[in-house]
Structure 1
């Protein structure tokens, strides 16, 4: 007898960098309850970005209690996903031994530059298919090993956001294979590559890396977790994949060659592949992520040029985010000749190239231009960055999209036209949580109809004449980027 899927009530929780969201879906994939609350991000001079584990765990409790109180009947399971990268150091009881260091952090910029010059990043990329950047675990751990060794001495595990929350809720020390992928995991074997760890000078800290959980692993709320969430002890909990692969699963990416564009804090461009091989001599950038299914991987290019750039532009020109669409409509494709490079992050860029010194620029400006031209040039440059990423990742099939940037119809159209690709956008915004729930249901042996869930979407078609117009614009972007890379300095 098939399981009664209508009785399966899984709370999906997406623990983002700045927002934690909980969603409950019905059997057809439509959200029936949701809640969200902000997380605190502490920005310290010197490009340091940190978060407090207790505060983040508190956001999970807030949203879970809210959605659990809004639904009828018992909860079947809790499915977690969230931000990846960074380093979340904990002791054996799951308590933080220092504030978590975010993936946005830039304190290891200089270290990364040394590794690039010495060939360390190239060696690790050859072994794992993943590039390194200032906010990844390898560079942060090496920095701490030199500057804060006592912190590492006190830690029992150096993990990530999702597994840090899981440890607090279940008492288990674990890590999802997707989180573990960057940068030490061999994607073919799903085991750590010891030589990659050694190349980073971290063999003596190897014990801090939790072994990746087995596929379809299920954990259970302990008494403390149950008390925190107001749910019964013993409730099944799944931990991952982290937000990039979870979004791909939730959006409907199923076939090799299909891709997903996430226009959020990160501009994440991912393409599904069933081949563990990668170009070991290519540019050492991006990620080669293992997914919940053996033999399936995501070639991910998570650029640093996401919606934070638009927030910056809005402050610069004195508008609210809701006014961006109107400004974009006031300037034609090509932004009246204004061009931009969008690298505004203090930690530079990580995909499809890595350069901690990468910085933004605008060109072609005159007194005749207005703020609409400036904002449109920035939005177009981010779309060009997405095209650059997808060319590196090998997009050949359908393209899906999600993230806050997709709420702007005008910007979504720019993406479609620059990419020359129709874009499928799920109707429900909780795509990461949706992916986590789909994985949880399969792990529990009560899988939902993934095709039915993916059908709740709309398609944005590209405009052929705009595609032609953007071809020289993309060539100009590439030429400007090539010239700028020779000039950037930390």
Structure 2
């Protein structure tokens, strides 16, 4: 038997075919783009997801004979996107993505309503799904009136695969319509957002079988079946499955476009006042909390673009040894910020520039600014009694050893690097497909990867970075008052 993980990302889809031991057999990727028709807007055509998926499936089918033994599929997707469908299941408009901030006014209005935070366990962020529908209600009433179902991106792929409207708990927890503690749609939250229960998909746990692959796709893909489709997951919950973070004390740091610090929790411990996200895990009866910063490697990519370098060239200039905090300070708010500020309008800045400032000083400042932003999330998690003996580092930014040692020092926690490159959302999704198809216990499948190196904090520089973090924390109100 083989199993397929689908990681539906913002910039492309990645498919990973694995065997019964979660070992990779083959992978395929296809890219697509987001549209930005107005400042702060970010949209994608769901048809582009399907086209990319089908092209990647064809590549796997043609290159790996093991594809014919496929028995389970799991889909992980970028969270919060609003895919509006009519009563025939056709998209009414482009999907409004997680990093779209047009609905900040509607988000603030929903967030102020009675019981919304208490039931959802979270602040209503502008990127969440509920305020997007409020925006459509107000600005595109003819589309709103035709909306029969609202699906998240991963749930839309599940619909394509199964023909059923079904979504998992972890992804649905980011809508502001789910009672996250009770793991069910909330009529109170739906009423607050002018939505109906019949517009919601059926809910399942991420490890459950959500349905079977449609006969038409079985034929088209050359499969005999049956092929189980798992409930799936939001991208970060799937990444937690990929690195085996399912128990209290386990977690990861992800340095992707956004920066994520995630902690698995055995119980439900919401702390919306901290701007932490408290969501259902893919594992029944478990939750996770995470702090999210919107511009992590995005900050380094931006600096690389304007300096005519690539990120590897920039970080290589810093050398191998961690340096003390630089004199230039960077606030990593290129696209606003979630944890801890919940501020869609704040923007980034450099301070401390002088005639002696060079490119490497700016690079150091960017890496430190992102690390300090992650420290904000770390402090918020610690305040909820989350404990970390160590964290696993994943994402493209983890290729920079300098950056990983910097983050370990600023957090005061060892960071472990997996020995294999296959440990993220695609692997987690494949493991969900395996669980759904075989009925095996999640604990037996969601295992921790072998570690190739654990990077310890530099104790000699801890105090210097603690002092620099204190200065970073007071920079936000100062810069906010100027914007």
TM-score of the two chains, using structure 1 as the length reference: 0.90
* Match status 1:129 vs 2:124: no
- SS at 1:254 equivalent: coil
Structure-2 residue corresponding to 1:340: 330
Deviates more, 1:205-214 or 1:94-103: 205-214
Equivalent-residue separation in structure 1 for 2:421 and 2:87 (angstroms): 38
Cα gap change, 1:322 to 1:228, in 2 (>3 Å)? farther
Contact 2:79 2:152 in 1 (8 A): yes
Q: CA deviation at 1:226?
A: 3.4
- SS at 1:69 equivalent: helix
Structure-1 residue corresponding to 2:417: 425
Equivalent-residue separation in structure 1 for 2:159 and 2:447 (angstroms): 33
Cα gap change, 1:254 to 1:176, in 2 (>3 Å)? closer
Equivalent positions of 1:272-311 (< 5 A) are 272-279=264-271, 282-283=273-274, 285-311=275-301
Structure-1 residue corresponding to 2:165: 173
Equivalent positions of 1:85-484 (< 5 A) are 85-114=80-109, 119-120=112-113, 123-182=115-174, 183-200=176-193, 202-203=194-195, 205-214=196-205, 216-226=208-218, 229-232=221-224, 234-279=226-271, 282-283=273-274, 285-329=275-319, 333-334=323-324, 336-345=326-335, 348-394=336-382, 395-397=386-388, 398-426=390-418, 427-445=420-438, 447=440, 449-450=444-445, 454-455=449-450, 457-484=452-479
Q: CA deviation at 1:331?
A: 9.7
Contact 2:326 2:364 in 1 (8 A): no
Deviates more, 1:292-301 or 1:323-332: 323-332
Cα gap change, 1:95 to 1:25, in 2 (>3 Å)? same
Equivalent-residue separation in structure 2 for 1:102 and 1:134 (angstroms): 11
Note the residue ranges of structure 1 that are not aligned, 5 or more in a row: 1-7
Note the residue ranges of structure 2 that are not aligned, 5 or more in a row: none
Q: CA deviation at 1:452?
A: 5.5
Q: CA deviation at 1:248?
A: 0.9
Equivalent-residue separation in structure 1 for 2:163 and 2:92 (angstroms): 16
Equivalent-residue separation in structure 2 for 1:457 and 1:43 (angstroms): 40
Contact 2:5 2:431 in 1 (8 A): no
- SS at 1:43 equivalent: coil
Equivalent-residue separation in structure 2 for 1:451 and 1:188 (angstroms): 23
- SS at 2:134 equivalent: helix
Contact 2:253 2:393 in 1 (8 A): yes
Please give the root-mean-square deviation of Cα atoms over the aligned residues, in Å: 2.3
TM-score of the two chains, using structure 2 as the length reference: 0.91
Q: CA deviation at 1:297?
A: 0.3
Q: CA deviation at 1:415?
A: 1.5
Q: CA deviation at 1:487?
A: 4.4
- SS at 2:202 equivalent: coil
Q: CA deviation at 1:158?
A: 0.8
- 1:152-171 CA deviation, whole Å, 9 max, x = no partner? 22222111111111111211
Cα gap change, 1:459 to 1:132, in 2 (>3 Å)? same
Equivalent-residue separation in structure 1 for 2:393 and 2:322 (angstroms): 23
Count, aligned residues: 472
Q: CA deviation at 1:390?
A: 1.9
